[in-house]
Amino acid sequence: MTKAPALTLDLKSTIMLVLLAAVWGGSFFFSEVALTEVPPLTITLHRVFWAAPILALVVLSKGIEIPRSLRVWGAYLVMGALNNAIPFSLIFWGQTQIDSGLVSILNGTTAVFAAVVAGALLPDEPLTMKKIVGAALGVAGVAFIMGPEALTNFSLSNLAQLAVLGATLCYAFAGVWAKIALAGQPPLMNALGMLTGSTVLMIPIVFVFDGPPQFALSIQVWGALLGMAALSTALAFVLYFTILGRAGAANLLLVTLLIPPFAIGLGALFLGERMELDAWIGFAIIGLGFAVTDGRLFSFRARKMPVRTGVGRPCPAVAGAVSICDPPAEPHALSLPPPGTVK
């Protein structure tokens, strides 16, 4: 039997990986700007509503068939809730109370927690000791950031941090749902279906809780909303699946550690945000948890980690990314976890 080719992180894939981290990290900056005039739920609607037609053009240009099955579109609706509507709204609300850089650090626990959720719920994704230790380190990193006072003096800041962590758990369950309900569907079509589903969900929610969206916004806010939709969502999905096919899931997961530096850098440069030492130490602990889960910390193979393609494994879920399986003819991801944002 012929072995599948090894996938490595070459120069082109590395450039795309950095670009993906930049556009996903930029989503935290964009949302911070948008929050000056637009409430969190409405920002979520803007993000998915404007991104859907852009991605639809990509899907149509590639000749990808639009599914007609009600079962598939029902799965897209659930996926839209788990991977967009709920986590985006939680993250955007969290940013009303805490800085965008801190949100990006907490969002980095997605990769660690998704591995545990997949291990607990999917019989072919065993819950290994590496996943358990990695999750424990992720929790320790979050606990270090929140501090012991969170147990005795609960505040809106603490609640916002828990909201972001709730978003990461949504991303984790989205990865499991994708494998169960969407395996075999074209990945870009899955992303489009998910965005369509989340748009359908968010329209009535926004009208009930925020009222009709206001369009008399400043040019800066419109730029942030459209940048979030076009760059941090539509372009991000195209980059995501391109890197997955070229470099494999294990290398794609490195974006998890690259997103916070971009988010923190943009917040410091344009918003005057400054991360406390506790946040940096917590990020280091979370990063260590990711490294343990990923396994390459203890590998003798250095920078290029070959990844074998396989069938029926879920794609990695990272901040704001869609955790959607590839069809059998394309490369598949490992059991490691997409995000949020997307983010």
* Of the candidates 4, 7, 6, the residue with the CA atom closest to the CA atom of residue 243: 7
User: Bridge-partner residues for 307, per DSSP?
Assistant: 7
Q: Are 108 and 222 in contact (CB under 8 A)?
A: no
CA distance 211 to 209: 6
pLDDT value for 4:
54
Alpha-carbon dihedral sign for residues 271, 149, 142, 126: negative
CA distance 20 to 10: 15
pLDDT value for 122:
85
**Which pLDDT tens digit goes with each residue over 66-121?**
999 999 999 999 999 999 999 999 999 999 999 998 899 998 888 788 888 888 88
Q: Are 147 and 276 in contact (CB under 8 A)?
A: no
pLDDT value for 131:
83
pLDDT value for 138:
87
pLDDT value for 152:
63
Q: Are 22 and 260 in contact (CB under 8 A)?
A: no
Q: Are 38 and 224 in contact (CB under 8 A)?
A: no
pLDDT value for 109:
86
Q: How many CB atoms lie within 10 A of CB 85?
A: 25
The torsion angles phi and psi of 7, rounded to 5 degrees, stand at: -110, 130
Amino acid at 143: A
Q: How many CB atoms lie within 10 A of CB 121?
A: 16
* Of the candidates 201, 215, 198, the residue with the CA atom closest to the CA atom of residue 47: 198
pLDDT < 70: residue spans in the chain: 1-7, 149-154, 250, 296-343
Q: Are 228 and 31 in contact (CB under 8 A)?
A: yes
Residue that the structure tokens 């985006």 belong to: 88
User: Bridge-partner residues for 7, per DSSP?
Assistant: 307
Half-sphere CA count of 196, side-chain side, radius 13 A: 17
CA distance 193 to 172: 19
pLDDT value for 155:
80
* Of the candidates 322, 251, 230, 212, the residue with the CA atom closest to the CA atom of residue 16: 251
pLDDT value for 71:
95
CA distance 29 to 179: 31
Kindly give the interhelix angle for 110-121 and 156-182, rounded to the nearest 10 degrees: 50
Name the strand (E) or helix (H) holding 231. Answer: none
* Of the candidates 240, 262, 261, the residue with the CA atom closest to the CA atom of residue 252: 240
DSSP of 274-328, one letter per residue?
---HHHHHHHHHHHHHHHHHH-GGG-S--S---B---SS-PPP--TT----PPPT
Q: Are 102 and 145 in contact (CB under 8 A)?
A: yes
